[in-house]
């Protein structure tokens, strides 16, 4: 018996089936919401474990390959980075072709182009090759790869769970926040960076999942490393009379970020245009040059450089040495990153900023002791880290909270905000294209610019609102009186639409023809019926001047004109908006 015959004989069967499908449709979103939150915690735990393993692998490889205390004039400083660079080049070309780059743009590409897809092979390759590169002395950092590793884990888990495409797309930034939070040991900074640079916008559900994943990953990381901050921060103090020195640091930071960006913008595309055989040699050559910098006197620029940052905070370098370290770190990172060696730019950025900040503090202490009132270079190094983060990576909000989380000291928030703002403004003025957007264009991709999205001003209804020039009728009027009033307005140019103010304080926008049809239906036998009774219960939507202008668009299909009311006084008109007003405002922005 066919299904159609079965339905004809037992009509109730179809009703039960339809009801069952409806119940499932209602249950599925609720189930997916709960699963989404639980998976966020699970992703945070797995990402935290992977990042801890990643950092341990880097430390182990560094000791194995370069020794526990690498010094200049050791031949291994030349040999190891070059040999490992060649090995990385071979593996990148033939085994892990998607691991080039820092990981930030690759995660954004997964979000906006590949529906959140990051292959597990890429996760393995990023883990292995980034650990090899940083452990062998290439001037790169582990934070950006940790971000992509977390995003890759989230992508894999969400695919295995069979979630919807929308959820798959959202899991990449959730995993990214978990990976970055574990690497930084700073959940707030990780959350803000992912919002600022990966997704650009957020809603409550996504923010909750990002927070859960970041916090759970940090809990895992701290169970191995403890709750101590990333650096051994000495006592940090601040005196308001030193603000001039911090302002100078902001200026120098903006210029240093410009030099760094220009160097990458010049060298990286030229190396990528070389033939395939030449590109195979680039990581090895970059390793040789970076090793040469270490061999001839500055081994501190090799690797991530966390220990050197710690030393700078404890005043173990003269100001000239600090400037040299900052300059050659820019050179070494430019060489390593432009060659296609996988690794991040977070740690080098913090290194350069810390050296620059400590140099400014040491110079001030030596030549302007009357201004150096705190006696500590740690505050200058910390502010310098935030300055470069804001100016080079163009994440101003993250830069402030990163310094506060790393130091655990909120007394320096004023110099941090001052110096970061100055550096950010200078960087934006001299280098309009942010570094991540520049790298995106070099890779032939067109991903959204989060900085432009943050700066873009949203139009509101008040930007298109017009004075009320159409006739207004009171809903309490009888149909007969309304007919007489409309007849008086019929010759007016702006009488094609009439606004009716109803007794409940709401409005009804009616075309002249609609009213004429309504009057005709009213008939002569019911002249005392009020106009709003004839209109029924339907009313135009309640809109206020501060709402987004785009929120008006869905309503024009039903209403020819939208009354805009005051929030404080129910029904009080501020003006009106038509479709023509909205389009004119968008075209003229």
Phi, psi of 332, deg, nearest 5:
-65, -40
Which pLDDT score is estimated for 242? 81
pTM (global) more than 0.85: no
- Residues 111, 190 within the same domain: yes
CA distance 213 to 40: 5
The answer to whether residues 382 and 249 belong to one domain is yes
In a domain, 230, yes or no: no
Q: Residues with Cβ < 8 Å from 29, sequence gap 6 or more? A: none
Number of H helices, E strands in the chain: 23, 5
Domain that holds residue 146: 29-225
Task: State residue 514's pLDDT score.
Answer: 76
> What was the pLDDT predicted at 2?
41
SS (H, E, C) 459-517: CEHHHCCECCCCCEEECCCEHHHHHHHHHHHCCCCCCCEEEEECCCCCEEEEEHHHHHH
In the chain the first and final C-alpha atoms are separated, in Å, by 65
Contact 176, 148 (CB under 8 A): yes
Give yes or no for a contact between 388 and 368, defined as CB atoms under 8 angstroms apart.
no
Beta pairing class for 497-501 and 472-474: parallel
Do residue 74 and residue 176 come from a single domain?
A: yes
Residues 352 and 359: their CA atoms lie apart, in Å, by: 11
Same domain, 178 and 68: yes
**581 and 444 co-located in one domain:** no
Which residues pair with residue 548 across a beta bridge? 460
Under 8 Å CB-to-CB from 221, ≥6 apart: which residues? 48, 51, 52, 181, 182, 185
CATH number, domain with residue 253: 1.10.3080.10
Q: Is 171 helix (H, G, I), strand (E, B) or coil?
A: helix
Same domain, 136 and 260: no
How many domains, in total, are found in the chain? 3
Write phi, then psi, for 577 (nearest 5 degrees).
Answer: -140, 130
Q: What share of the chain is helix, strand, coil (3-state, %, to 5)?
A: 65, 5, 30
Q: Tell me, what's the pLDDT at 452?
A: 58
The separation between CA 10 and the C-alpha centre of its own chain, rounded to angstroms, equals 56
The encoded tokens of residue 516 equal 């004429």
Give the Cα separation of 149 and 129 in Å (integer).
12
Helices assigned H by DSSP within 161-242: 165-184, 187-193, 204-225
Q: Tens digit of pLDDT per residue, the chain (589 long)?
A: 444 443 444 344 344 444 444 444 444 455 556 777 888 899 999 999 999 999 999 999 999 999 888 899 999 999 999 999 999 999 999 999 889 888 888 888 888 888 788 899 999 999 999 999 999 999 999 999 999 999 999 989 888 887 767 777 778 888 999 999 999 888 888 998 888 877 766 666 678 888 999 999 999 999 998 777 677 676 666 677 788 889 999 999 999 999 999 999 999 999 999 999 999 999 999 999 999 999 999 999 999 999 999 899 888 999 999 999 999 999 999 999 999 999 999 999 999 999 999 999 899 888 887 766 565 788 899 999 999 999 999 888 889 888 888 777 777 888 899 999 999 999 999 988 888 888 888 888 777 666 555 556 678 899 999 998 888 888 888 877 777 777 776 655 555 788 889 888 899 998 877 777 777 666 555 666 787 877 888 899 999 999 999 999 999 999 989 999 988 888 889 999 999 999 998 887 5
> Do residue 71 and residue 182 come from a single domain?
yes
């Amino acid at each position: 018996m066919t299904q159609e015959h079965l339905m004809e004989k037992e009509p109730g069967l179809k009703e039960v089936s339809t009801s069952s499908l409806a119940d499932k449709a209602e249950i599925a979103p609720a189930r997916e919401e709960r699963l989404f939150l639980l998976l966020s915690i699970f992703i945070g735990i797995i990402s935290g474990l992977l990042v801890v393993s990643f950092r341990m692998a880097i430390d182990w490889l560094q000791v194995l390959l370069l020794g526990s205390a690498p010094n200049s004039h050791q031949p291994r400083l030349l040999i190891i980075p070059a040999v490992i660079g060649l090995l990385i080049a071979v593996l990148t070309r033939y085994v892990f072709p998607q691991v080039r780059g820092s990981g930030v743009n690759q995660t954004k590409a997964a979000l906006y182009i590949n529906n959140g897809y990051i292959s597990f092979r890429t996760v393995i390759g990023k883990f292995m090759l980034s650990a090899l590169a940083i452990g062998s002395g290439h001037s790169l950092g582990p934070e950006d790869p940790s971000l992509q590793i977390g995003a890759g884990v989230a992508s894999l888990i969400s695919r295995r769970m069979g979630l919807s495409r929308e959820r798959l797309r959202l899991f990449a930034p959730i995993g990214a926040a978990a990976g970055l939070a574990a690497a930084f040991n700073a959940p707030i900074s990780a959350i803000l960076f992912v919002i600022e640079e990966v997704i650009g916008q957020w809603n409550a559900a996504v923010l909750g999942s990002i927070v859960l994943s970041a916090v759970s990953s940090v809990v895992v990381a701290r169970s191995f490393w403890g709750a101590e901050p990333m650096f051994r921060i000495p006592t940090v103090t601040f005196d308001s009379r030193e603000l001039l020195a911090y302002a100078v640091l902001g200026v120098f930071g903006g210029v240093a970020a410009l030099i760094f960006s220009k160097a990458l913008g010049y060298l990286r595309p030229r190396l990528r245009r070389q033939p395939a055989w030449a590109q195979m040699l680039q990581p090895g050559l970059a390793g040789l040059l970076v090793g040469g910098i270490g061999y001839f006197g500055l081994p501190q620029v090799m690797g991530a450089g966390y220990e050197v940052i710690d030393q700078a905070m404890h005043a173990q370098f003269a100001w000239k040495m600090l400037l040299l370290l900052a300059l050659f770190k820019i050179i070494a990172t430019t060489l390593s990153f432009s060659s296609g060696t996988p690794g991040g730019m977070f740690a080098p950025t913090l290194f350069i900023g810390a050296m620059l900040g400590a140099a400014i503090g040491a110079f001030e202490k030596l030549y302007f002791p009357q201004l150096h009132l705190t006696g500590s270079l740690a505050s200058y190094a910390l502010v310098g880290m935030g300055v470069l983060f804001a100016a080079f990576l163009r994440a101003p909000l993250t830069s402030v909270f990163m310094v506060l989380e790393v130091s655990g000291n909120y007394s320096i928030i004023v110099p941090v905000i001052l110096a970061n703002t100055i550096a950010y403004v200078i960087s934006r003025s001299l280098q309009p294209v942010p570094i991540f957007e520049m790298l995106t264009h070099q890779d032939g991709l067109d991903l959204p610019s989060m900085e432009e999205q943050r700066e873009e001003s949203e139009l509101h209804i008040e930007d298109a609102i017009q004075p009320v020039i159409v006739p207004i009728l009171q809903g309490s009027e009888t149909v007969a009186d309304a007919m007489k009033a409309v007849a008086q307005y019929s010759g007016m140019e702006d009488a094609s639409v009439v606004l009716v103010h109803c007794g409940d304080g709401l409005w009804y926008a009616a075309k002249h023809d609609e009213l004429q049809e309504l009057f005709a239906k009213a008939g002569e036998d019911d002249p005392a019926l009020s106009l709003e009774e004839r209109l029924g219960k339907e009313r135009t939507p309640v809109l206020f001047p501060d709402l987004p202008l785009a929120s008006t668009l869905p309503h024009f299909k039903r209403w020819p004109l939208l009354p805009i009311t005051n929030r404080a006084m129910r029904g009080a008109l501020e003006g009106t908006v038509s479709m023509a007003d909205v389009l004119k405002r968008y075209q003229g922005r």
